[in-house]
Structure 1
Amino acid sequence: MPCRVQVAALPWRKTAYGVEVMLITSRDTGRWVIPKGWPEGQEDLYESAAREAAEEAGLFGSVSRFEIGRYYYGKRQPSGMEARCEVLVFPMEIDQVAEKWPERKKRKRKWFSPQAAAAMVREPDLGELISAFGVNPRESAA
Structure 2
Amino acid sequence: MCDLVARTGRHQQRYENGYRLVAGCVPFKYFSCDENCNIRMKKIIKVLMINSPSGPGLLFPKGGWENDETVEEAAVREAIEEAGVRGDLKKYLNDYDFRSKNLQDEFSPEGWCKASMFALYVNEELDSWPEQEKRERKWLTIPEASQLCRHSWMKDALDKFAEYYDTDDDNDDPPGR
Distance 1:135 1:16 in 2: 21
1:13 aligns with 2:41: no
The corresponding residue for 1:116 is 144
Distance 1:109 1:23 in 2: 6
Distance 1:21 1:78 in 2: 26
Gap runs ≥5 in structure 1: none
Displacement after TM superposition at 1:119 (Å): 2.2
| Greater mean alpha carbon deviation, residues 127-136 or residues 30-39 | 127-136
| Greater mean alpha carbon deviation, residues 68-77 or residues 20-29 | 68-77
The corresponding residue for 1:89 is 117
SS of the residue corresponding to residue 68 of structure 1 reads strand
Displacement after TM superposition at 1:44 (Å): 1.0
One-letter amino acid of the counterpart of residue 28, structure 2: W
Query: Conserved in 2, the CA contact under 8 Å of 1:12 and 1:21?
Result: yes
The corresponding residue for 2:159 is 131
CA gap of 1:72–1:121, structure 2 versus 1, over 3 A, is: farther
1:39 aligns with 2:55: no
Distance 2:93 2:103 in 1: 30
Gap runs ≥5 in structure 2: 1-16, 34-43, 166-173
Distance 1:3 1:55 in 2: 23
Identity %: 25
Displacement after TM superposition at 1:68 (Å): 0.7
Residue by residue over 1:63-114, the C-alpha shift from the partner in whole angstroms, topping out at 9 and shown as x without a partner, is 13x52112232212367x7501111101100011011111001111101111
Query: Conserved in 2, the CA contact under 8 Å of 1:21 and 1:111?
Result: yes
Distance 2:164 2:30 in 1: 11
TM-score by length of 2: 0.70
| 1:56 alignment partner, one of 82, 97, 101 | 82
Residue by residue over 1:14-64, the C-alpha shift from the partner in whole angstroms, topping out at 9 and shown as x without a partner, is 111311000001122143111101112321101100000001111001113
List structure 1 segments (4+ residues) > 6 angstroms apart after TM superposition. none
CA gap of 1:82–1:110, structure 2 versus 1, over 3 A, is: farther
1:68 aligns with 2:88: no
Taking only aligned residues, the RMSD between alpha carbons, in angstroms, comes to 2.2
Which structure is higher in helix share?
1
Distance 1:33 1:46 in 2: 19
One-letter amino acid of the counterpart of residue 20, structure 2: R
TM-score by length of 1: 0.85
